[in-house]
């Protein structure tokens, strides 16, 4: 795999290491979006099938990406919070049931669970991040497995930690949840598209994913996989296109009591998004050609040479086996002047995310080794 920067619109003087915040669009995806906007300017060209067929094509591509043969278990969502709300809307708990979450989990995968716990007098159990910086990932995974018990009703987490890239062993976690008959809900927003993921292997009860990060798609559109537990659930809204025979526009007032099969009932209203769907279809098709496995390997190849020099400067970085290669955290030495570092980054057009004493680095195929050389040089300038 080689750099694909020519397929993006990032100037040579910009070091963009912040795809976990917002990925750039491929130039081809940008062009598709502009064409889609033009189509809305001429609505007489929009046909009835345009409300349905493009979404079905997108679902099939996404099903291939997450390794499932059941594309109809995928729903169109506007956000992770919407997808999680659908999950929470279909769960009933008992008093003292436990909902297992990870320390410093992203809030869109926290707030709804807090409300559910309060509703049923259930318990939110937080698996705290270990203080050992050397074996953090290994210990953290062990703690998660130990805290999944007969009391656990739900485990809800990411494939990796959104702030520092710690990899969680979802296969082992899934096996434990199945053993105690608890639900496994995965927020894949910081991993799907950049790390290989198999629904067939992991068997999550739900996999929720925003489209604007590692799927390289537009903002405000995402995709959610819902397993058999949710087959007969209740959606958080009712819209016409999710019912059987909705393709028959002439018969829409012959109100239909039955939903379309599987996760189609959970599609957000106006799910035939004429702009977002063709854009996300284009980007996922490109990701499939690249293959997330190759993306991980490329990200590792362009960044691995700076790990030891950063550690020599007093920075802490998770061991390679327990961190993602497209997203990882660098814990800065306590004595570093953060304001000075931010100013250095600004002057050199380096874009990262600051998370307390950490900086989050997130790269992709539009990056190259020189981007990490520039990053290292800037940190060295401030620390020295």
Instruction: Assess if CATH 1.25.40.10 describes domain 5-19+291-383.
Output: no
- Please say whether the beta carbons of 219 and 212 come within 8 A: yes
Sheet holding 327-331, edge to edge: 327-331, 358-362, 353-355
What average pLDDT does the structure give for the chain? 96
- This prediction has a pTM of 0.96
* pLDDT of res. 355: 84
What Cα–Cα distance (Å) separates residue 90 from each residue in 95, 230, 249?
17, 7, 30
- Please say whether the beta carbons of 76 and 273 come within 8 A: yes
pLDDT higher than 90, residue 112: yes
Query: What is the per-residue pLDDT across 199-220, written as a single tens digit (0 to 9) for each?
Result: 999 999 999 999 999 999 999 9
* pLDDT of res. 175: 98
* pLDDT of res. 358: 87
pLDDT higher than 90, residue 149: yes
Per DSSP, helices labelled H in the chain are 27-41, 53-65, 80-88, 111-120, 136-147, 170-180, 199-202, 276-290, 292-303, 307-312, 338-347, 369-383
For residue 268, which of 221, 229, 207 has the smallest C-alpha distance? 221
* pLDDT of res. 47: 92
* pLDDT of res. 146: 98
Please tell me the distance from the alpha carbon of residue 123 to that of residue 361, in angstroms, as a whole number: 33
DSSP states along 339-371: HHHHHHHHHTTEE-EEETTEEEEE--TT--HHH
pLDDT higher than 90, residue 127: yes
pLDDT higher than 80, residue 134: no
* pLDDT of res. 131: 86
* pLDDT of res. 303: 98
Query: What is the per-residue pLDDT across 299-357, written as a single tens digit (0 to 9) for each?
Result: 999 999 999 999 999 999 999 999 999 999 999 999 999 999 999 999 999 999 998 78
| 30-289 fold | 3.40.640
Average of pLDDT values for 90-94?
A: 97
Average of pLDDT values for 84-94?
A: 98
Query: What is the per-residue pLDDT across 216-275, written as a single tens digit (0 to 9) for each?
Result: 999 999 999 999 999 999 999 999 999 999 999 999 999 999 999 999 999 999 999 999
- Domain map (residue ranges) of the chain: 5-19+291-383, 30-289
Query: What is the per-residue pLDDT across 48-75, written as a single tens digit (0 to 9) for each?
Result: 999 999 999 999 999 999 999 999 999 9
CB hemisphere CA count around 208 (13 angstroms):
24
């Amino acid at each position: 795999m080689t750099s694909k920067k020519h397929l993006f619109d990032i100037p040579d003087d910009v070091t963009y290491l912040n795809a976990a915040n917002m990925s750039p669009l491929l130039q081809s995806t940008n062009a598709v979006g502009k064409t889609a906007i033009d189509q809305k300017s001429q609505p007489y060209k929009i046909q009835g099938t345009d409300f349905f067929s493009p979404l079905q094509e997108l679902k099939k591509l996404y099903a291939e990406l997450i390794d499932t043969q059941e594309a109809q278990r995928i729903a169109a969502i506007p956000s992770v919070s919407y997808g999680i709300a659908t999950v929470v809307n279909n769960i009933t708990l008992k008093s003292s049931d436990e909902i297992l979450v990870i320390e410093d989990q992203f809030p869109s995968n926290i707030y709804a669970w807090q409300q559910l716990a309060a509703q049923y007098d259930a318990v939110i159990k937080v698996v705290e991040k270990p203080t050992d910086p050397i074996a953090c990932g290994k210990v953290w995974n062990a703690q998660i497995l130990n805290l999944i018990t007969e009391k656990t009703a739900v485990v809800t987490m990411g494939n990796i930690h959104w702030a520092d890239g710690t990899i969680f062993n979802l296969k082992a976690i899934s096996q434990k949840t199945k053993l105690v008959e608890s639900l496994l809900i995965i927020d894949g927003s910081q991993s799907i598209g950049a790390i290989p993921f198999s629904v067939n292997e992991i068997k999550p009860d739900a996999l929720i994913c925003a489209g604007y990060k590692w799927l390289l798609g537009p903002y405000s559109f995402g995709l959610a996989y819902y397993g058999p537990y949710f087959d007969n659930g209740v959606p958080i809204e009712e819209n016409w296109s999710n019912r059987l025979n909705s393709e028959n526009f002439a018969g829409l007032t012959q109100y239909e009591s039955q939903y379309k099969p599987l996760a189609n009932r959970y599609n957000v209203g106006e799910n035939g998004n004429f702009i977002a769907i063709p854009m996300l279809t284009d980007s996922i098709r490109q990701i499939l050609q690249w293959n997330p496995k190759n993306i991980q390997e490329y990200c590792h190849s362009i960044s691995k040479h700076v790990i030891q020099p950063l550690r020599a400067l007093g920075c802490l970085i998770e061991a390679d086996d327990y961190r993602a290669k497209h997203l990882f955290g660098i814990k800065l030495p306590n004595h570093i002047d953060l304001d000075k570092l931010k100013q250095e980054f600004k002057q050199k057009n380096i874009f990262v995310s600051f998370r307390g004493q950490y900086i989050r680095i997130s790269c992709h195929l539009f990056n190259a080794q020189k981007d990490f050389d520039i990053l290292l040089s800037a940190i060295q300038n401030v620390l020295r």
